[in-house]
Amino acid sequence: MWSVSCKKKTVQVDEKTNPPVTNPPVVNPPENTTSLVYINSANKLAYNKFANEGESNKDNVIPDFSTAGYQGGGVALPDVPVKKTISAVAGDNRLNIQNAIDEVKSMPADANGIRGAVLLQAGTYEVEGTLLIDRGGVVLRGVGQGSNGTIIKATKKAQHNLIELNGSGSGMPEVGGTRKKISTEYVPTGAVSFDVESAAGFTIGDQISVYRVPNQEWINALDMAQYGWTAADYDVNFERKITAINGNTITLNAAIVDPIQTRYGGGYVFKTNITGRISNSGVENIRLVSYYLNDDDELHAWNGIELNRTENCWIKQVTAQYFGYACVSVSTMSVYNTIEECAMLEPKSQTTGSRKYSFNLEAGSSFNLFQRCYTDGGRHDYVTGSRVPGPNVFLDSYSINTKADIGPHHRWATGVLFDNVFGGQIIVQNRKAMGSGHGWAGAQTMFWNCKSSNYDIKVESPKGAKNWGIGCVGQTKNGAGYWESWGTPVLPRSLYIAQLTERMGSAAVNNITTAAQRAGSIQEQLRLWAGKGKLGGQ
C-alpha cells in the first residue's frame, strides 16, 4: 500500500488499482514522456502528484481510466450464438424483427446471462418506428455495416430512436440507514480510498454510491451563480464497489475523478440497490439509414441507437447515416458499456443546439468506452452532457467536417479521457452563458495525444480541479489549463491502453484492441475506413 497526504487525513490507495503517487526518484525516462504520468526506467507507469487550480496541496494524481468498458475493461465482447435468422420482407419489417427479438428474449439465459442473437440476413429492412431490446442477453446482428450488408432503414417521419436497449427503473436507489459521511477532509483526484465516519455495516463487495454534495461556497468559488447554477443541482452519484475495508477506511474498485472537500460540502457513501438494468445485450454488424426530406429535415429518425439503464452491453460495427442526433447515445445510468468500430455519417438536421451529437454520454453514465469510431459532418462528435460522472473514455477515434467542438459540452462532466482523438476544435472550457448557461463544461478532462486539423485545442481549468492537454497537436494552443508537450505526442501512445496493461496485463489489452492499435496510431486507418465496411478491410 502507499499513501496520499490529504491535509489532516491520510488516504490509503491500493497499488493493484492505481500505481504509487509518491514522487519517484530522479531517473532518465524515455524521450517524449510527461511529468505527471510517464514511463520510468523500469518501463512502468509512474505518477507525480499535483495541486489543483488555485490550491497548493499536491495531493492529486492522474486517475486510472482503464476501468471503462465492458466488464470493467480488458474483457472480450462475447460471441453470442444465433438463435433466430430472418430475411427482409417487402414493406415495414418492424414487427417481423421485433417478434424475432421477443422470441429470443423469452429463451432461458445461460450461466453468463446470454440468450442468443437475432441474425438479419443481407438486404434492406424498412422499419416504421422503434426496435426494442428490453431484456438481457439478446443481440441484434447483421452481416455487415457496409452498403452491401444488412441495412435497417428508418422510414418514420418523426423524431424517434431506431433501436433502443432499455432497462427499467429510475434514479439511484439508496439502501435506507446506510448513509455515512466522508470524514477525510480532502479526497483527491486519483485516490481509491478514504475514511468515513463509520464503516460499520459495510462489507467487501458492496455496491455503493460516492455521493458528492457541493455547497454554495463551491458555487461561489467557480463564480457560477450568475449562470443559474445552484448547489443542490450538482449533487452527483459516483457508482463504485468496495474492495477493502480497514477500520473506517474503505477502498474502491475505481479512482475518484472529482475531488471531495469538506470545505466545499464534502460527501457521503451509501449502499445502493439498483435493479432493472439489462446486461449482455448488443447490436452488431449493421448499417442504419434514416429517411430524410432535406439537409435540415427534423422529422425523421433522431438516434440510431440509445442505451438506457444498461450494464455490460455493447454496440459494435454499426454505421448510422442521415440521423439527426447520434449514432449512439448512452443515457440514463448506463455503465460498463463498449461502443466500438461505429460511424456516424452525414447527419441530417439543422446545424444548431441539441443536434448532431455523434457519440454522446448523458447524466449518470459511467465506465463507458468508445473506441475506433468515426464521424463525418457532426457538431459535437465525442461529447458529454451535464453532470456525467466518470470515468468514461473516447479512444482512437476520428472526425472530419466537424461543425463545432469535441469535448465535454456543459455543466460539470468529470473524469473523461479523450485519448488519440482526431477532429476539428477540441475544447474543455468555461462556456459561461453559452447555451442555457452551461458554465464549466468539465473537470478532470484529459486530452491525451489528441490532434486537431487546422483548429485550436483549448484547455481551461476550474478552481479546485484540473483539465489537461498532454501531447496534443493543433493549429493553436488556447487556454490556461495544464499543458505539456504541445505539438509533440508523448509516450505512452495511449494512456488508456498503458493503464489497462499495468492493471490487468497484456492479455487483457489483446482482448479489446486490434493489432494496429497496439502497434501505433490508427488515425490513417480510420480515415480510410470511414465507416464504409469492416475496419481493416472486408
CATH number at residue 125: 2.160.20.10
Is the pLDDT at 364 greater than 70? The verdict is: yes
Closest CA to 227 of 412, 378, 475, 486: 412
Look at residue 436 in the predicted model and tell me its pLDDT.
86
Which residue is associated with the grid cell 462475447? Answer: 78
Compute the average pLDDT of residues 267-274. Answer: 98
What average pLDDT is seen over the chain? 94
* Domain contains 114: yes
Q: Give the C-alpha separation, 529 to 373, whole Å.
A: 10
- Does residue 101 have a pLDDT over 90? yes
Average pLDDT for residues 9-15, to the nearest whole number?
A: 39
Q: What does the pLDDT read at residue 33?
A: 86
The residue among 9 and 507 whose pLDDT is bigger is 507
Alpha-carbon span 535 to 528, nearest angstrom = 9
In this predicted structure, the answer to whether residue 3 has a pLDDT above a threshold of 70 is: no
Does residue 11 have a pLDDT over 80?
no
Residue where the block lists cell 438479419? 120
Euclidean distance between CA atoms 367 and 71, whole angstroms:
9
Q: 369 falls in which pLDDT band (50, 70, 90)?
A: very high
Is residue 124, in this structure, part of any structural domain at all?
yes
Kindly state the average pLDDT of the residues 112-129.
Answer: 98
Around Cβ 148, how many Cβ atoms within 10 Å? 12
Question: What's the confidence (pLDDT) of residue 36?
Answer: 97
> How much is the pLDDT for 536?
81
Classify 187 in phi/psi space as left (phi over 0), alpha (psi -120 to 50) or beta: beta
Nearest to 425 by CA among 444, 395, 447: 447
Residues in the chain, overall count? 538
Q: For the chain, what is the total number of helices (H) and then of strands (E)?
A: 6, 41
360 pLDDT higher than 80 = yes
- What pTM does this model have? 0.94
Percent of the chain with pLDDT over 70: 94
Residue 41 has pLDDT above 90, yes or no: no
Tell me the pLDDT tens digit for each residue of 230-265. 999 999 999 999 999 999 999 999 999 999 999 999
430-485 pLDDT tens trace = 999 998 889 999 999 999 999 999 899 999 999 999 999 999 999 999 999 999 99
Task: Check residue 4 and give its pLDDT.
Answer: 35
3-class secondary-structure state, position 443: strand
**What pLDDT sits at residue 30?**
59
Asked, for residue 143, whether it belongs to a domain, the answer is: yes
What is the span of the domain harbouring residue 337?
A: 79-169+279-350
8 A C-beta contact, residue 110 and residue 279: no
- Which range (85-89, 280-284, 461-465, 534-538) has the least confidence? 534-538
Other residues' Cβ atoms within 10 Å of the Cβ of residue 106: 10
Task: Determine the Cα–Cα distance for residues 77 and 280; give it in Å rounded to an integer.
Answer: 9
Q: What pLDDT score was predicted for residue 327?
A: 98
Is 53 contained in some domain? no
Dig out the grid coordinates for 325 from the structure.
442526433
What residues contact residue 83 under an 8 Å CB cut-off, 6+ apart?
103, 104, 107, 115, 116, 117, 118
Distance CA 153, CA 325 (A): 16
**Is 287 among the domain residues?**
yes
Which pLDDT score is estimated for 186?
98
Q: Is the pLDDT of residue 266 over 90?
A: yes
pLDDT value, residue 454 = 87
Report helix, strand or coil for 508.
helix
- The answer to the question of residue 134 being in a domain is yes
pLDDT at residue 537 in the model:
59
Confidence of residue 10 (pLDDT cuts 50, 70, 90): very low
Over range 400-421, report the average pLDDT. Answer: 97
**Mean pLDDT across 497-524:** 97
Angle CA 470–471–476, to nearest 5: 90
Closest CA to 264 of 227, 226, 228, 224: 224
Q: For residue 278, give the nearest of 143, 101, 432 by alpha carbon.
A: 101
- Domain count along the chain: 1
Q: In this structure, is residue 202 part of a structural domain?
A: no
The H-or-E segment that residue 101 falls in is helix 94-105
> What secondary structure letter does DSSP report for 168?
-
Instruction: Report whether pLDDT(394) > 70.
Output: yes
What are the cell numbers at 441? 463544461
In a domain, residue 484? The reply is no
